[in-house]
Amino acid sequence: MIIRNTLKIFSFLICLMIVPSMAAAGTVDVFRPAEENVSPMEMRTRAMAEGFALAVLNEAKVMLPGLDMLRAEALKMYLLGHAKPYIQGYKLLSSKEVEEGLEMRLDVRINKRTLRDSLKKMGLFQTLKTPLAASVVWPEGLSDDEMAALQGLITMTGLELEDDIRPAFVLEYTKEKAYKGRMVLDNREWLSINKDLAVVWVDLWSRYFGQSQSMAAPAKMQFLTISGWFSPDGVLEFDRVLRGWESAVQEARLVEMDMQPTGVGATWDVNILNRDRLDMLLQSFLPQRGLAFQMTQGDEE
């Protein structure tokens, strides 16, 4: 007789698990060339900022497979001043002044959930494969640095610029020497003001993509069922593996186990980012371990 058990029955096993961490650690190497009139302390600060940006970028590239080099570089430039919300901690492994500049090695822990949520709000998942047609208008008199920063933000977000279409991002100056941005849609307009151009940009585009995502039809539930384990321990170990496939799965929740005469089976509720990549990872991981799997579509409630 097949004994069907839910996670509630196996709660004692879950308690024995090491809860999967939402933080990812990565080691990065940074080299900052020597600059005139820059103190050693400032050099060190800039090197650490670059290390944080690189560590966050590396994790973002795992979540965004196929992100091209130009967009990756633009994202890194943005992160140079905006990586702190994603840093859970770091360890300075080495720092060495050399004739050409400063060499530094850091071990950085990234909050993956916060990063993934931010990338989604900023529209990078939505524009990963197909750029968004949009209009961007800026005032006369922008400096070369400001134009470079604006172009980098356009590239990072994945926009394809066209004239006189919606959505439209309109940039202006304020009397207080701050940036004022307006996001113009067919039926509404949003406003953001800040002395940091990137803050204005991300604020408004996050509102736009947030609206687009809320208006989209909700995805149906996907179930991943795997069978062939000898014990529940194998299920719990694979649960940790599955949660680590950041480029394929946004979220995975173990919802059921089956104790069968032929072995143990389990089912996960998964939110899939990239179905092809998930299939590839499953095919490379499961068959060689004698495990079989199937994907099924859940019913809408």
Contacting residues for 81 by C-beta, under 8 A, at least 6 apart: 49, 196, 198
Per-residue pLDDT of the chain (301 residues; tens, 9 = 90+): 333 444 433 333 333 333 334 555 689 999 999 888 888 899 999 999 999 999 999 999 988 988 999 999 999 999 999 999 999 999 999 999 988 889 999 999 999 889 988 999 999 999 998 999 999 999 998 999 999 999 999 999 999 999 989 999 999 998 888 999 999 998 889 999 999 999 999 999 999 998 866 555 455 568 999 988 888 888 989 998 998 887 788 788 888 888 877 788 899 988 887 788 888 899 999 988 888 888 887 654 4
Q: Distance between CA atoms of 38 and 259, rounded to whole angstroms? A: 65
- Helix axes 112-121 and 40-63, enclosed angle (nearest 10): 80
Neighbour-count burial of 138, counting CB atoms closer than 10 A to its CB (0-12 exposed, 13-18 middle, 19+ buried): middle
pLDDT at 13: 38
pLDDT at 212: 66
Helices (H), the chain: 11-16, 40-63, 69-79, 112-121, 144-157, 197-215, 232-243, 275-285
Torsion of CA 226, 228, 230, 234, to 10 degrees: -30
pLDDT at 5: 42
Domains, the chain, with CATH or none: 21-112 (3.30.1660), 122-216 (3.30.160), 218-297 (3.30.70)
- The single residue listed with the structure tokens 């490379």 is 284
Q: Distance between CA atoms of 277 and 293, rounded to whole angstroms? A: 15
Does residue 182 contact residue 190 with C-beta atoms inside 8 Å? Answer: yes
Does residue 271 contact residue 250 with C-beta atoms inside 8 Å? Answer: yes
Which of these, 148, 233, 273, lies nearest to 198 by C-alpha position?
Answer: 148
Q: Distance between CA atoms of 72 and 64, rounded to whole angstroms? A: 10
